[in-house]
Amino acid sequence: MNPLLSTAPLPLFDQIHPEHVAPAIETLLAKASEALETVTTPTFPSQWEAIARELDVATEKLGIAWGAVSHLKSVADTPELRAAYNAMLPSVTDFWTRLGADERLFAKYKAIDVQTLNTEQRQAHKNAIRNFVLGGADLAGAQRERFAAIQDQQAALGQKFSENTLDATDAFSYYATAPEMAGVPEDVQQAALAAAQADGKEGYKLTLKMPCYLPVMQFAHSSDLRATLYRAFVTRASDQADAATQKYDNTQGIRDILSLRQEEAALLGYPNFGALSLVPKMASSPEAVISFLRDLGAKARPFAEQDLADMRTFARQHLQLTDPQAWDWPYIGEKLKEARYAFSEQEVKQYFTFPKVLAGLFKIAETLFDLVITRDRAPVWNANVEFYRIERAGPQGLQLVGQFYLDPTARNGKRGGAWMDEVVTRWLRPDTQQVQTPVAQLVCNFADGVEVDGKKQPALLSHDDVITLFHEFGHGLHHMLTQVNEHDVSGISGVEWDAVELPSQFMENFCWEWNVLRHMTSHVQTGEPLPRALFDKMVAARNFQSGLQTLRQIEFALFDMLLHTSHNPQDDFLPLLNQVRAEVAVVHPPQWNRAAHTFSHIFAGGYAAGYYSYKWAEVLSADAYAAFEETAGPDGLPNLETGRKYRQAILEAGGSRPAMESFKAFRGREPTLDALLRHQGMAS
């Protein structure tokens, strides 16, 4: 009766409770361990299919069940679920560490005759041999034991970092008065008023969740209110937080994580964790990454300096701000954009109702990639979650290609940000000889619709929210449209980390195409589509402050890489961050800013010594999209043949070959910086 042990094709998310976690995971761990022992006996054949049928089937069941628990902890966290997850985390981590370092299994894989493998299997086998080495399979004795202990400790520390970040975010609330809320968008005010009333409090409840925090920083006239929220936001989970939340301080956790990573790298024979991290990535070395970032930073800096000068002048002349503080810049930037381009984000937002945007997203995906997307049914974890199926016409009618969950709204117990994760991976199963349908989860944190005159309006998205939705759907398409049958190189599996953002950032470009955008807008009150004149203003403002935004990403990426190469983990990491800011940034935050303490991407999210991937993937995606610009029809609509070529070369190929080979199969050459600089208005 345990839902985590169900043989249903999809997880029973609505039935999974904390008390199910330990019994199910212990059972699946035992079966996976038994399978490992079976395939590593001397008499078991060193054959790809035989190992997959016994071991991969067992580990996949464990992975799907643990993935469901991890997912629920991210989107529906409770103290009970957290305790159940943390209780099993050491055992799960220990199993995967043992599996990846098992010298008997490593020997079996090395003994496989690669001449008997197909192209996909050869790539998976090559990756497996590499991963065994990175997993410590060549270590012995005390070194092997220490390596395993490091993995356990890192998993626990990463989980604690994530918990502290979520708890520190959820712990803050501020009840603002009506005068303080002047300038804040009406839908945000309505949501804050309802939240305060639900707490039995007067005023407007403000939180540090993005749908609330960002509009306040951009639009609230009160500098004092912005300062209050800014200080709370940038000191979360740090030594600078208020006394009530200092128990969530991540300072020591960061130092411990960095020390363990350095020790892991040394055990595996690498000079630092940065070098270790790049082994399965496209980039050749930390030095190459640092050079790439500094080169791009040098190109962007003159534009960033002009962005800052423009804001200072505007603030002095129009806002009577002669000495802007860190919490003033988002407000100044928004006011300058309104003045320069004669529109506001709030005006644009009225046209982007969530249902209409979603329909527009589906339309472009269906047209470009020859798909049919419809609602489907599945057990879900929240009433706001929707489930869809993706099909394509075939000889026997519509054929199922993939399925996905969509969880769009922010709420307590759900971690911030947006992400795609796989639920089930496409695989020609060795146990049934049936192709398994890939399933994805797309998670965002948009504001929910608010009640107006007793009627709930559809949720309104900013244009940035629209871009986020397209981004995550791009990841989903990469996972779901794959035609690869080998599990470990299917979809996003096996794709180099610094190339995995290509399909997601590629999809963002369509948010700037009139022939796409006009089909996904409907004014929340009148139903009228977005006026062309307003769209033209948005396009004119597209690269507004692109120099500043580029330098901010480079600041994060350079800090990340230097932190994992030249930094001594025992030293305070804040001086390094200040050093990077002195080199890169043109806007400098207060000394008490502790942004690193919630940098979940690198301390709890898999981007350690890999945050540069976002900028590198922007190069790939901009160059890929340039192919659509070059082949667009007279009406500006994308060329369907180019869409087919992109689908086959990039999306369907998944991780079955190196990402550079896939890119060259699409573009006929290696990528260049030209398209990115042009798209961001920084071409020389």
Q: What residues have CB less than 8 Å from 109, skipping those under 6 apart?
A: 46, 51, 125, 128, 129, 132
Burial (0-12, 13-18, 19+ Cβ within 10 Å), 467: middle
What local confidence, expressed as pLDDT, does residue 452 receive? 80
Reported as a single tens digit per residue, the pLDDT across 637-679 is 889 999 999 999 999 999 999 999 999 999 999 998 888 888 8
| Beta strands 439-446; 397-409: pairing state | parallel
HSE-up of 203 (CA within 13 Å, CB side)?
A: 12
Q: Where are the domains of the chain?
A: 3-167, 172-248, 286-341+544-679, 354-518
Percent pLDDT > 90 in the chain is: 93
Reported as a single tens digit per residue, the pLDDT across 382-426 is 999 999 999 999 888 999 999 999 999 999 999 999 999 999 999
CATH T-level fold of 286-341+544-679: Neurolysin; domain 3 (1.10.1370)
Mean pLDDT value across residues 84-109: 97
Mean pLDDT value across residues 449-478: 93
Entry field: residues in the chain: 684
Contact by Cβ (8 Å): 101, 160: no
What local confidence, expressed as pLDDT, does residue 455 receive? 86
What local confidence, expressed as pLDDT, does residue 124 receive? 98
What local confidence, expressed as pLDDT, does residue 81 receive? 98
Is it the case that residue 598 has pLDDT exceeding 90?
yes
Q: Which helix (H) or strand (E) holds 70?
A: helix 57-75
Amino acid at the residue 494: G
Reported as a single tens digit per residue, the pLDDT across 366-390 is 999 999 999 999 999 999 999 999 9
Mean pLDDT value across residues 139-148: 96
Contact by Cβ (8 Å): 501, 606: no
Q: Which of 345, 422, 472, 513 is catalytic?
A: 472
Identify which of 231, 235, 188 has the alpha carbon closest to the alpha carbon of residue 212. 188
HSE-up of 414 (CA within 13 Å, CB side)?
A: 21
- Residue showing tokens 């989903």: 476
What local confidence, expressed as pLDDT, does residue 634 receive? 87
672 SS3 class: coil
Is it the case that residue 363 has pLDDT exceeding 80?
yes
Is it the case that residue 193 has pLDDT exceeding 70?
yes
Domain 3-167 and domain 354-518 have a common topology: yes
CA separation, residue 299 to residues 370, 546, 593 (Å):
39, 12, 27
Is it the case that residue 502 has pLDDT exceeding 90?
yes
Q: Picking from 28-42, 208-222, 665-679, which range would have the lowest pLDDT averaged per residue?
A: 665-679
Q: Is the backbone of residue 614 left (phi > 0), alpha (psi -120 to 50) or beta?
A: alpha
Mean pLDDT value across residues 524-541: 95
CATH number listed for the domain at residues 3-167: 1.10.1370.40
pTM given for the model: 0.90
Reported as a single tens digit per residue, the pLDDT across 441-452 is 999 999 999 888
What local confidence, expressed as pLDDT, does residue 684 receive? 64
Band (pLDDT 50/70/90 cuts) for residue 84 is very high
What local confidence, expressed as pLDDT, does residue 635 receive? 81
Mean pLDDT value across residues 47-70: 98
Band (pLDDT 50/70/90 cuts) for residue 682 is confident
CA angle, residues 8, 10, 15, in degrees to nearest 5: 80
189 SS3 class: helix
Q: Is 386 a catalytic residue?
A: no
Is it the case that residue 683 has pLDDT exceeding 90?
no
Mean of the per-residue pLDDT values of the chain: 96
Of the chain, the end-to-end C-alpha distance in Å amounts to 65
CATH T-level fold of 354-518: Neurolysin; domain 3 (1.10.1370)
